[in-house]
Copies of this chain bind each other. A is one copy, B any other.
Amino acid sequence: MRRCKAEVERTRQRLLDAAEQVFSDRGYAVARLEDIADVAGLTRGSIYWHYDGKPELLEAVIDRAWFPWDQLPAEQTEAQPLPGIPQMASVLGQGIQQTLTEPHLRRSASILLQGHELRHVSERVQARLQGMQKRIRRYVALVIEQAGAGRLAFGERDARARAVGVFMFGALSEALLLGLPGEQYPIGREVERFILALLLPGMEGG
């Protein structure tokens, strides 16, 4: 019965897909390993060959999920020059849109936002959320800095970067909690517009 490594890997991915789906649909606490196994076409018992238990399965799901903003540069580099504010707004807006539209991303986001009750399961959830927030803020701050260098009062730059992060968080949370379908509503466009509305006035007017 020994299968090649690729085969095993495929099974693990099927398992993660299933877990992702069930965790996001029913919520981690209510999700049953049997449901996950069913979706994956396996049995409860076999989950334990691949993962140590339910919490570890959750962590694996979380660790596998990569969001558009996870690749945002944290620093100005020669290889990857920073965009201007309009382009950044577009990138972030599209990130939101994609996250809400692409099933895997949407499910992963839904799991991460499942509330601080997951704290008791894995502190990695909160760490992941914090990391995402920090990354977005840092990126926005960098772009703002470059766009309007020197013209912003001390602290103002960070406040605006934070505002962008909060707004994105809100767009995501709202859509997921209220079940707004990503395909129909141009949430990404809204995000883009309001980043522009928020950042451009203070920049251009300088």
Which A residues contact B (CB, under 8 angstroms)? 26-30, 110, 113-120, 126, 129-130, 133, 159-160, 162-163, 165-171, 173-174, 176-179, 190, 193-194, 197-198, 201-202
Q: Contacts A167-B167, A178-B129 given; indicate if A173 touches B27 (C-beta within 8 A).
A: no
Task: Establish whether residues B159 and A193, one from each chain, have CB atoms under 8 Å apart when the complex forms.
Answer: yes
Task: Establish whether residues A110 and B115, one from each chain, have CB atoms under 8 Å apart when the complex forms.
Answer: yes
Partner of A30, one of B26, B117, B197: B117
**Tally of this chain's copies:** 4
- Does more than half of chain A's interface fall in helix, strand or loop, or is it mixed? helix
Q: Which residues of B contact A193 (CB under 8 A)?
A: 159, 163
Identify 4 new A-B residue pairs, CB closer than 8 A, beyond the known A115-B115, A169-B174. Answer: A27-B117, A115-B177, A160-B197, A173-B173
Partner of A173, one of B119, B160, B170: B170
Q: What distance in Å separates the Cβ of A107 from its nearest Cβ neighbour in chain B?
A: 12
Task: Establish whether residues A177 and B30, one from each chain, have CB atoms under 8 Å apart when the complex forms.
Answer: no
Residue of B nearest to A175 (CB): B166
Partner of A163, one of B113, B176, B194: B194
Complex CA gap A177/B166 in Å reads 12
- Listed A/B pairs (28) with beta-carbon separation below 8 Å: A26-B117, A26-B120, A27-B29, A27-B118, A27-B120, A28-B117, A30-B117, A113-B177, A114-B117, A116-B177, A126-B177, A129-B177, A129-B178, A130-B178, A133-B178, A162-B190, A163-B167, A163-B197, A165-B174, A166-B170, A166-B190, A169-B170, A169-B174, A170-B171, A170-B174, A173-B173, A194-B198, A201-B201
